[in-house]
Structure formats: structure tokens, C-alpha cells
Structure 1
Amino acid sequence: MPQSLRRQVLVALAVVLIAVLALVQSVDSVAEHRDGGRDGRAARPPVAAVSPALERPQLFDGRMFVAYYGTVGTPVLGVLGEAAPWKAAARVEKAAAPFRRAGLKPQPVFELIVTIADRHPGPDGDYNHDVPAVAVRRWIAAARQSGALLVLDVQPGRADFPSVAKRWASALADPNVSLALDPEWRMHGGQVPGRTIGSTTGWEINLTSRWLQDFVVAHHLPQKLFVVHQFRRDMIRGIDIVRDRPDLAEIQHVDGFGTPGQKLATYRAVARPDLFRMGFKLFYDEDIRRLSAQQVMRIRPRVDFVSFQ
């Protein structure tokens, strides 16, 4: 081939190669913009990339979580107050036994109210008080010895959820201890606990879950339960913005009581399985024809956490 012709062929190939590279770069740029977050920042990581949180054991592995609910020393707020921690462990183990699913043993849980909403303002004017830390430590020890998990339930009164949750940081540093928010007792303005059904926002839930997520990461802790109670839609305003946190197993716990029909109507009215795993409460006194374990396990959207009060 003459040298002049060879040169023309090489130039033509170079032009084609440059065009192909430009086209690939353009396609990658479009994909990056399309796959980026809503704020238009960096593209998502490759599909093969795995969050460090997902490399650790996940709490939702097919088991049913079965909880006893209440507080220290009084049965008025739930069944945990009816017995000492070691006796409560035996009771919740017995209650959990029928909830075996797919051959998996149910996971017993203590859900202990550690910040209780009050009808009076108290020294801080926030309409709540904490149970003694020494009592909480006894429940932590009982949970660890019995193989149960402990969930700290907070009723903030006129305080906010993040500030109350942070008061329990020392307990939450235990790998076996998780957190629950109870918006029924989150007051605003001049509201008083017990006179008004409280509420929170998706924004406040996100602030709390972000703090707990960062706490888990900073202290190298395993995944924690993050429970949000609800029995009316208006108890959580802006629920659509609630964020998923990889280090938290997030549960929307539906607390309606009454007949089976009333309970299921409440559940279906508020359930958001697109945002949470689902929880369901059974009341020993308030429920009429209390649902059996088999009936609870047939509920759809599927229930992964059930508690007794």
C-alpha cells in the first residue's frame, strides 16, 4: 500500500476512534445524571457495591419478634410491670412459642418504657420523666441472660424525640438494646399528655433515626430495631419522607385495639409496608376476641413484630 494511502487510512481510523470515545463518554454522563440522587450529586455506586451495614447480620431473617410491653414497677402501662425481669422473661418466652414461622424460633423482646409522659410539667417543664437507670440496667441484664432483645420506648411529652433518645445513649451502647418512639405522647404547644393524642413528623423521625444510625456506626454496633408506634394517620405528618437506614431495622407498629375487624381496619388504614417492616399489638384487656398467633401470621401486609400489652 502506498505510504500516502496508509496515512489516509490511519487518519480515518483515528477520527472514528475519537468519535466512538466521545459517544461513550456522552452515554456515561447521561447515565450518571439519571442515576444520581434527587439533588443531582454523584451517581449511585455500581450494583456490585455493598453497604458495610449489609455485610453484618440483619435482624429481619424470617423470625417473628414477640414483645412484652410496659414499664418498671407498675402494671398500669403494660404487662412488663407485673413481674420482675427474670419472671417476665419466662412469660414472654411462653407467649412467643406459638409464633414459630418457617421452622424458625421466634425472638423474645422486652419493650420497656424508659421515658414516661406526665400530666404535669415537672422540673424541666417538658412533661416527662425517666425511670431510674439502675432499673433499666436490670432489664438489660435479664434480656442478655434470657436471649431476649430490649427496646427502650420513649414518650417525650413536650420534649422532642432526638433529645430524649440521646439521654439513653449509655444504654443504647449495649449491642442488645434498641429504640422505640411513641408519637401518641409527643406534645406540641400547650398540649398535655393524656388529654391530647400527640403526633410527630417524618422530619423528626428522620432526625432521630439519623442520630441512632450514626451512633451505631461510631460504636461498631450490630443492627438495631427502630420502632415507631402509630394508630392514626395524623399521628405522623409527612410520613412519606421517612428514610431507610441500613443499620436500623425500622418497624411501623400499629397499636389499634378492639374487635378483630376494628384492629385490622386500623392496620390497613395506616400501614406503610413500602417504608417499614410491620408491627402489630395485642391487648390482654382491651381487645375483644384477641387474635391468635396463627391469625396474626396470616395478616397482610405481613407482620414481623408483635407485642402484648
Structure 2
Amino acid sequence: MKNSLLALLFVASASAASAQTITKDSTLQKAILDTARYDSLMIRMANGDKRWPVKKAPLPLPGAILPFNRVVAYYGNMYSKNMGALGQYEPVEMRKKLMAEVKTWQAADPSTPVKPALHYICVTAQADAGRNGLHNLRMPFSQIDKVIEMAKPINALVFLDIQVGFSDVQTEVPLLEKYLKMPNVHFGMDPEFSMKEGSVPGKRIGTFDAKDINYVSEYLAGLCKKYNLPPKMLVIHRFTKRMVTNYQDIKLRENVQLVMDMDGWGGPDLKKGTYKYFVQGEPVQFTGFKLFYKNDIKPVPHRMMTPEEVLKLKPVPMYIQYQ
């Protein structure tokens, strides 16, 4: 009798625990699967292009930034005023200018909240082979720490970007884990300076394959699971076909959001053409668009595209980068 009572109590307890688990999972599933707003935003992002949104994309886990927000980032390196706005201005002025751009984008699309970001090149490609022979220069952690601190006053996201040179993502990405495990730190990778064929960076345009991108996204996904993080964004720069090979083999994950960023400069017609053929025409998941304060206006009478013009693209970019 005693054993039967214990058994009944065990079953009742197990049932209660199971019910709690089901309730908890159901709540989580509702957050993931009750996705009327998500689906609506993705269709709006497609802007009439039937290839978008991509059908293979899994639903994002809670905490995903895209497509619920647009990210507007300043790009650069702290050691160079020529690599972008991030390193061109003193921190206070830089933040002021960035937030002015954020305000402009918010006015251009009031329905999409805008998040500021600092996109920092923490591994830069070099013409000189250097001590490691890899034609890259890894920024000291003290500089990355400064960028992390610079982001705090405006609650900005941080992207760490790598130009691997003769190295590879398998070598470079794990070195940044102490930062990538932070919830507000995301990642960028630049195929232009991945010199698989052995050319000196800057002499030819480099390339990443889907395998390289899949390694990075799997690594980021692993960090999200290990440290219970919200989904990470992964930005891949692109302005030629060869820069990203086998795009159709890129794997999408529920805790990594891939952004193919149109990285070319020039006048509006050239930029729109590059976007059409190399980003819109080879759908992955989300898209980005880079605007150059200097290079887009050369030669005269070229000009930088306005937010209103960028918002007419198909699909609509959810990540905007200023250099």
C-alpha cells in the first residue's frame, strides 16, 4: 500500500512537472511560432521580390534583432582615420554624428526602430607579411576594450570584423571568444581580404566560401547555446560574385542572423546594380548596404544615396553601414 501510494505520488509529481514543462515550452514556442508580426515584417522587407524572404530560413529564437529593428553602424579602426568614421573622429563627436544618422533613418522609416552600432575592424589585412607571415594585424585587446566602452553611452551594439589575409576564420574567430560571448557583440567577415590564392592583400579581391561562413555561424551558434545568449548577427561584406562562393550552401540557424552587406562604392546607379546582382540575386537571409562619406561622391557629380532611396531596394536592407 505504501509503495502504491508512493508510486501515485511520483506519477502525480511527474505529471505536474511535465505540465509545467509543457506550459513553459508552450510559452517559448508561442514566442517563436506565433509569428504574425515576424512574417509581416519579413514580407515587408522583401518589398515585392518573390525570392525573398528565403524559404529555408528557420524562425529566430527570442531576442533576435532582425527584422524587428534596423541597425545603423559606423565602421572603422581606431588606428586609422582613413578606414572609416569610427576612427576618424574623437569618441564624443563620433557618437554625435552616428546618432544623427540614426535619427535620420528613424525619420525615413518610423515603423522600424533603429539601433546604433560600432563596427570595428579588429583584424586588418596588411601588404607586409608581418611577424606571423599571415599578412594581417590583430588589434590589441586594449583597443577592442576601448570600442566596447565607446559603445556604452549610446547603448550601441558592437561588431568585430576580421580581414584574415593569409590566415583563416578557423584561426582568427576563436581568438575573439572573450568578446563574442558578450550579448551585445556581433561579428563581421570580409572576403575582400581573404587571400586563399596567395596574393598580397589589396592586389586582388579575396574570397570566402560557404564552408567558411558556415564555420563562423556554427561557432557563433555554439556560443549562444553555451552562454545562453540571444541570436548573433553575422555580417558578410560583398561587392563581386567571386567574393562569396556556393552561397546556396550557406546554412541558416535559429540563433545566428546572416546579413549579406553590399560593400561597393560609387554613384547610386553603380551601387544599385551591384546590390541587384550580387546581393538581391543570390538570397541568403538579410541584407545590408554600405554608404561611403568620401568614395560615394567621387567623381563629381556622384553623390551618396539617401535613406529614402535605399529603402526602395528589393529587399530592403536591415543593416546600414557608414564608412
Is TM (by shorter chain) over 0.5?
yes
- 1-side partners of 2:201 and 2:116: how far apart? 30
Matched, 1:66 2:72: yes
Offset of residue 105 of structure 1:
3.2
Counterpart position of 2:137: 129
- 2-side partners of 1:298 and 1:174: how far apart? 34
Task: Pick one of 65, 72, 78 that aligns with 2:84.
Answer: 78
Matched, 1:198 2:206: yes
- 2-side partners of 1:166 and 1:183: how far apart? 18
Counterpart position of 1:285: 294
- 2-side partners of 1:88 and 1:199: how far apart? 31
Which shifted more, 48-57 or 156-165?
A: 48-57
Counterpart position of 1:306: 320
- 2-side partners of 1:55 and 1:230: how far apart? 26
The ranges of structure 1 where at least 4 consecutive aligned residues each deviate by more than 6 angstroms after the TM superposition are none
**Structure 1 residues 1-309: aligned runs within 5 Å:** 54-100=60-106, 101-272=109-280, 274-287=283-296, 288-309=302-323
Decide which structure has the larger Cα Rg and report it: 1
Pair 1:55–1:308, CA change in 2 (3 A):
closer
C-alpha offsets along residues 224-273 of structure 1, whole Å, 9 cap, x if unaligned?
Answer: 11000000011111111001011112100011111111100000010146
SS state at 1:114 partner: strand
What residue ranges of structure 1 are gaps of 5+ in the alignment? Answer: 1-47
Offset of residue 181 of structure 1:
0.4
CA contact (8 A) 1:151 1:177 kept: yes
User: In angstroms, what is the RMSD of aligned CA positions?
Assistant: 1.9
Count of paired positions: 262
CA contact (8 A) 1:158 1:187 kept: yes
SS state at 1:59 partner: coil
- 2-side partners of 1:157 and 1:183: how far apart? 9
Pair 1:144–1:302, CA change in 2 (3 A):
same
- 1-side partners of 2:194 and 2:260: how far apart? 16
CA contact (8 A) 2:68 2:113 kept: no
Identical counterparts, % of pairs? 27
CA contact (8 A) 2:181 2:227 kept: yes
Which shifted more, 200-209 or 79-88?
A: 79-88
- 2-side partners of 1:233 and 1:267: how far apart? 11
- 1-side partners of 2:315 and 2:113: how far apart? 21
- 2-side partners of 1:99 and 1:230: how far apart? 23
Pair 1:256–1:237, CA change in 2 (3 A):
same
- 2-side partners of 1:189 and 1:299: how far apart? 34
Pair 1:145–1:204, CA change in 2 (3 A):
same
What residue ranges of structure 2 are gaps of 5+ in the alignment? Answer: 1-28, 34-57, 297-301
C-alpha offsets along residues 200-223 of structure 1, whole Å, 9 cap, x if unaligned?
Answer: 101111011111111121111121
